Amino acid sequence: MHITKSNLHLADFSEGCMLLIDKPYGFTSFKVVHKIRSRISDRLKTKLKIGHAGTLDPLATGLLILCTGKMTRQIDNYQALVKAYSGIFTLGATRPTYDMESAINQEFDWRHIEPDQIESVRQSFLGEQWMTPPIHSAVQIEGKRAYELARKGLEPKLEPRLICIDSLTLDASQMPNIHFKVVCSKGTYIRSLANEFGKRLESGAYLAELRRDAIGDFVVDGAWKLDELLDLLN
């Protein structure tokens, strides 16, 4: 059962429900799950089974699909759906995490980049290709998260993944910031896309802003604001 404002009073969270959440900036996906689980579990007087279908980084906002009770069996199906994102690549520098979570570690010239180069690189990303996840990611390596190893100064070896980019649109009218929209497969790290985008332009780039707009046919415009849902669950 997909829970919206109109049917929240009918929700049977133990039996199984789906919630669309607009994840706030600065929150981990786990923190969102924890807050909602705690609120509902307090009401039910029992611990609720709940999970999310696809992690968003703390500095990203947008759509999270949460499943409760028996609906958690559907999580893998939702994770397999295509994702739509929008945001900003910033040219001229790189960061170890490929996003704003770490400081700039190298600067590059970007003023040589012409519109036809950007278009050529855009086209090079379309379709299937191999892309390596960032070392600052939740990918597991021998039971540990890659980011845990990276934070200790280690450089975990991550294997490339076959991903597919269905569409990529770019607006380079505000260089060095490039606004983008992308539709891609499961397993695509937009931070890695940003980093590779800079390399293919013979410069550097990082992800300055990210929002997940859709997962399959589910769109963020129909999602709950976290505070609003928590207030109603009170």
Q: How far apart are CA 135 and CA 30, in angstroms?
A: 19
Q: Are 77 and 67 in contact (CB under 8 A)?
A: no
- Tell whether the torsion through CA atoms of 90, 60, 56 and 141 is positive or negative: positive
In sequence order, what are the residues at sequence separation of 6 or more whose Cβ sits closer than 8 angstroms to the Cβ of residue 114?
none
The label of the residue with tokens 């900003």 reads 88
What are the backbone dihedrals phi and psi of residue 153, each rounded to the nearest 5 degrees, phi first?
Answer: 90, 5
Determine whether 213 is an active site residue.
no
Q: How far apart are CA 228 and CA 161, in angstroms?
A: 37
Q: Are 125 and 131 in contact (CB under 8 A)?
A: no
Instruction: Point out the catalytic residue in the list 57, 116, 166, 221.
Output: 57
- Triad 110, 211, 190: Cα angle to 5°: 55
Q: Are 75 and 58 in contact (CB under 8 A)?
A: no
- Residues identified as active-site: 57
